């Protein structure tokens, strides 16, 4: 139910965790758009100080301390004070906390520089459409880290071809694209601009060397350096212009990207693998993985409906999933402690399970599609689960996840999650690091230990495909695979529009070297339930 309605009816206190005090403030915010106490506090505290709270390890007490004692109001001031060892002299602070703060600020600054793929992709699409309409521009292609589907990108790199003598016209059109706020640099065949706060690079080449430039600009730099070494051993020189025979001095441009690999005696390596993480060795040995693709995915395992904080009904979600060619989906609404996210009480969950059963009866025979009754069960601060065993046993799939108490230390957080994983009811552990790209680093956790225990208990680990999370990361998902742990890709969709996030999850899985057999939702429903659920 809507919070506004609850407030009108005076029922806010029915939400777990909401008492008189909070209820009064919520009603005040609904009625006036703000809250008096908040406004009072805001006027007492400098605006900038709020951003200090975003730094992990810095709580309100520390902010108050550094503000009162040292007059610090900005991140830069805090960093400076830490570097000058002024913090360690404050009560309850020491050299260690000072170091932690410096590191956290540096990580936060680094994070501000990189753009989550989910933010960059729609921007790249706008630029792509514009360039494709430019006279004289052909083969417009996004390259760089975006083409490799890295979780975050530093900038967006485009290449295109143009008819001889017309490159400059394309470069000019690029610089005058509506929305460009700055032209950083511009030459005859290349240009860099700022568009929607993102740097966009463009390089124009002749059609004859398109493949060479595409390969070069796709990177990564580390992958390219390795390729150049291989070329040198063969008496060749690889560059963005082509491959030069060192003996004859003849440069042969590659029109297609495949030719670059071919001429180096290698099989084609897909962009997602080009990070120098063993792909060159695997290519030489002929052991490149047969990566999972979007069409291998037979269902989505993590969806929210209107029963908790989603915006679509179960039939609507099922309809959309069938439209995508899926065979099943798993409804995983929040559990009872997640009051703010509309978490389901035991009674409501049981009611939902019954409705899912009834719904399956209506569609099963006709279309062979199945809605699985799952739950995204909160892992409470002590590692226990948010529903009693007899309720968990009624579910097809139990997904366990942490949503609170992020400030627990590494050991506490790890043993908290481990306790949930060893619970026999838990089938999948979701977004294990809790990171939000561009917003929040994951909490401290011993991911190797989590993977080890998941392996021992046959628990799958989720790849959360929401572009905000992409958690596990590619590196950790690969570690999981190498430890024999199965991965479950779920979109964490809160509306039918989010079902398309599966693509992000699949690309991440490919960057993690996953093959169809490593991903539980490439299985048919029977195998899936036998593998992880109650089959």
Site of interaction with ligand DGT (CB under 6 A): 144-145, 150, 153-155, 157, 216-217, 219-221, 224-225
CA dihedral 283, 289, 295, 298 (to 10 degrees): -170
Between 154 and 455, name the residue whose CB sits nearer to ligand DGT.
154
Are 367 and 359 spatial neighbours (Cβ–Cβ below 8 Å)?
Answer: no
152-153 vs 460-464, strand pairing mode: unpaired
Question: Cis omega before residue 493 (within 30°)?
Answer: no
Q: CA–CA separation, 196 vs 382, rounded Å?
A: 44
* 219 contact, one of Ca ion, ligand DGT, none, CB 5-8 Å limit per kind: ligand DGT
115-116 vs 370-378, strand pairing mode: unpaired
238 dihedral zone (left: phi>0; alpha: psi -120 to 50; beta): beta
Between 222 and 389, name the residue whose CB sits nearer to ligand DGT.
222
The tokens of 78 are what?
Answer: 């805090």
Nearest approach in angstroms of CB 228 to Ca ion is 19
Nearest approach in angstroms of CB 153 to Ca ion is 6
Under the criterion CB under 5 A, does residue 155 sit at the interface with Ca ion? yes
Nearest approach in angstroms of CB 399 to ligand DGT is 31
* 309 contact, one of Ca ion, ligand DGT, none, CB 5-8 Å limit per kind: none
Between 269 and 450, name the residue whose CB sits nearer to ligand DGT.
269
How big is the site for Ca ion, counted in residues (CB under 5 A)?
5
Length of the chain: 535
CA atoms within 13 A on the CB side of 87: 25
Question: Cis omega before residue 59 (within 30°)?
Answer: no
* 221 contact, one of Ca ion, ligand DGT, none, CB 5-8 Å limit per kind: ligand DGT
Nearest approach in angstroms of CB 197 to ligand DGT is 15
Under the criterion CB under 5 A, does residue 28 sit at the interface with Ca ion? no
Between 208 and 239, name the residue whose CB sits nearer to ligand DGT.
239
Are 189 and 203 spatial neighbours (Cβ–Cβ below 8 Å)?
Answer: yes
Nearest approach in angstroms of CB 503 to Ca ion is 20
* 334 contact, one of ligand DGT, Ca ion, none, CB 5-8 Å limit per kind: none
| Closest among 101, 93, 122 to 198, alpha carbons compared | 122
The residue within the footprint of Ca ion, chosen from 79, 151, 157, 333 (CB under 5 A), is 157
Q: CA–CA separation, 58 vs 178, rounded Å?
A: 41
Nearest approach in angstroms of CB 214 to ligand DGT is 11
* 460 contact, one of ligand DGT, Ca ion, none, CB 5-8 Å limit per kind: none
Between 192 and 476, name the residue whose CB sits nearer to Ca ion.
192
Hey, how many other C-beta atoms are within 10 angstroms of the C-beta on 236?
Answer: 18
Nearest approach in angstroms of CB 159 to ligand DGT is 10
The tokens of 438 are what?
Answer: 């561009």
Nearest approach in angstroms of CB 268 to ligand DGT is 17
Under the criterion CB under 5 A, does residue 201 sit at the interface with Ca ion? yes
Nearest approach in angstroms of CB 221 to ligand DGT is 4
Furthest CA-CA distance within the chain:
86
Nearest approach in angstroms of CB 219 to Ca ion is 7
Between 144 and 533, name the residue whose CB sits nearer to Ca ion.
144
Angle, in degrees to the nearest 10, between helices 474-482 and 447-457: 40
The residue within the footprint of Ca ion, chosen from 56, 116, 144, 299 (CB under 5 A), is 144
Between 171 and 356, name the residue whose CB sits nearer to Ca ion.
171
What burial class does residue 35 get, using C-beta atoms within 10 Å of its C-beta: 0-12 exposed, 13-18 middle, 19+ buried? middle
* 78 contact, one of Ca ion, ligand DGT, none, CB 5-8 Å limit per kind: none
Query: Taking the chain, what is the end-to-end CA distance rounded to the nearest angstrom?
Result: 34
DSSP H or E segment with residue 150: none
* 315 contact, one of ligand DGT, Ca ion, none, CB 5-8 Å limit per kind: none
What's the chain's Rg over C-alpha atoms? 26
* 236 contact, one of ligand DGT, Ca ion, none, CB 5-8 Å limit per kind: none
Q: CA–CA separation, 79 vs 159, rounded Å?
A: 39
Query: Which 3 state secondary structure label does DSSP give 245?
Result: strand
* 53 contact, one of Ca ion, ligand DGT, none, CB 5-8 Å limit per kind: none
Query: Which 3 state secondary structure label does DSSP give 224?
Result: helix
Nearest approach in angstroms of CB 251 to ligand DGT is 17
* 58 contact, one of Ca ion, ligand DGT, none, CB 5-8 Å limit per kind: none
Nearest approach in angstroms of CB 323 to ligand DGT is 34
Nearest approach in angstroms of CB 125 to ligand DGT is 17
Query: Which position's Cβ is nearest Ca ion?
Result: 144
Between 79 and 157, name the residue whose CB sits nearer to ligand DGT.
157
Between 145 and 414, name the residue whose CB sits nearer to Ca ion.
145
The tokens of 436 are what?
Answer: 């939000």
Between 120 and 447, name the residue whose CB sits nearer to ligand DGT.
120
Between 13 and 240, name the residue whose CB sits nearer to Ca ion.
240
220 dihedral zone (left: phi>0; alpha: psi -120 to 50; beta): beta
* 163 contact, one of ligand DGT, Ca ion, none, CB 5-8 Å limit per kind: none
The tokens of 369 are what?
Answer: 């599609």
Residues 414-433 binding Ca ion (CB under 5 A) are: none
Query: Which position's Cβ is nearest ligand DGT?
Result: 219
CA atoms within 13 A on the CB side of 476: 23
Between 91 and 122, name the residue whose CB sits nearer to ligand DGT.
122
Q: CA–CA separation, 327 vs 208, rounded Å?
A: 45
Q: Which residues contact 1 (CB under 8 A, 6 or more apart)?
A: none
Residues that bind Ca ion (CB under 5 A): 144-145, 155, 157, 201
């Amino acid at each position: 139910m809507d919070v506004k309605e609850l407030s009108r009816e005076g029922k806010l206190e029915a939400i777990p965790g909401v008492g008189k005090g909070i209820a009064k403030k919520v009603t005040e915010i609904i009625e006036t758009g703000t809250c008096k106490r908040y406004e009072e506090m805001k006027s007492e505290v400098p605006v900038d100080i709020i951003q200090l709270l975003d730094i992990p390890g810095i709580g309100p007490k520390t902010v108050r301390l550094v503000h009162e004692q040292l007059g610090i109001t900005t991140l830069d001031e805090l960093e400076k004070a830490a570097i000058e060892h002024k913090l360690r002299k404050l009560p309850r602070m020491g050299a260690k906390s000072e170091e932690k703060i410096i590191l956290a600020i540096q990580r936060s600054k680094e994070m501000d520089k990189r753009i989550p793929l989910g933010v960059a992709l729609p921007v790249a699409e706008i630029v792509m459409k514009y360039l494709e309409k430019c006279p004289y521009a052909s083969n417009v292609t996004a390259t760089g880290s975006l083409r490799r589907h890295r979780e975050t990108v530093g900038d967006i790199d485009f290449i295109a071809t143009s008819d001889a003598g017309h490159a400059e016209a394309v470069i000019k059109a690029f610089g005058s694209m509506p929305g460009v706020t700055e032209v950083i640099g511009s030459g005859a065949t290349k240009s860099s601009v700022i568009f929607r706060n993102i740097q966009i690079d463009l390089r124009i080449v002749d059609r004859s060397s398109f493949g060479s430039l595409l390969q070069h600009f796709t990177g990564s730099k580390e992958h390219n350096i390795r390729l150049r070494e291989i070329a040198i051993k063969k008496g060749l020189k690889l560059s963005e212009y082509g491959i030069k025979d060192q003996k004859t001095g003849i440069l042969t441009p590659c029109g297609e990207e495949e030719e670059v690999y071919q001429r180096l005696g290698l099989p084609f390596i897909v962009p997602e693998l080009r990070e120098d993480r063993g792909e060159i060795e695997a290519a030489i040995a002929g052991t490149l993985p047969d990566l999972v693709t979007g069409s291998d995915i037979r269902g989505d395992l993590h969806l929210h409906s209107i029963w908790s904080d989603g915006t679509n009904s179960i039939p609507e979600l099922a309809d959309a999933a069938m439209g995508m060619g899926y065979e099943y989906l798993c409804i995983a609404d929040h559990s009872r402690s997640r009051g703010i996210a509309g978490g389901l009480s035991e009674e409501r969950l049981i009611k939902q399970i019954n409705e899912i059963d009834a719904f399956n009866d209506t569609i099963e025979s006709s279309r062979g599609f199945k809605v699985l009754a799952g739950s995204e069960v909160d892992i409470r601060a002590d590692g226990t689960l948010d529903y009693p065993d007899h309720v968990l046993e009624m579910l097809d799939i139990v997904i366990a996840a942490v949503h609170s108490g992020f400030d627990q230390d590494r050991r506490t957080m790890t043993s908290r999650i481990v306790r949930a994983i060893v619970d026999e009811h838990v089938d999948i552990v979701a977004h294990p690091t809790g990171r939000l790209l561009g917003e929040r680093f994951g909490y401290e956790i011993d991911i190797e230990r989590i993977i080890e225990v998941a392996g021992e208990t046959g628990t799958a680990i989720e790849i959360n495909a929401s572009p905000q999370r992409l958690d596990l990361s590619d590196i950790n998902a690969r570690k999981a695979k190498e430890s024999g742990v199965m991965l479950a890709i779920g979109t964490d969709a809160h509306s039918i529009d989010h079902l398309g996030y599966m693509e992000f999850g699949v690309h991440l899985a490919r960057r993690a070297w996953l093959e169809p057999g490593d991903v539980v939702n490439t299985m048919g429903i029977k195998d899936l339930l036998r593998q992880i659920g109650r089959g």
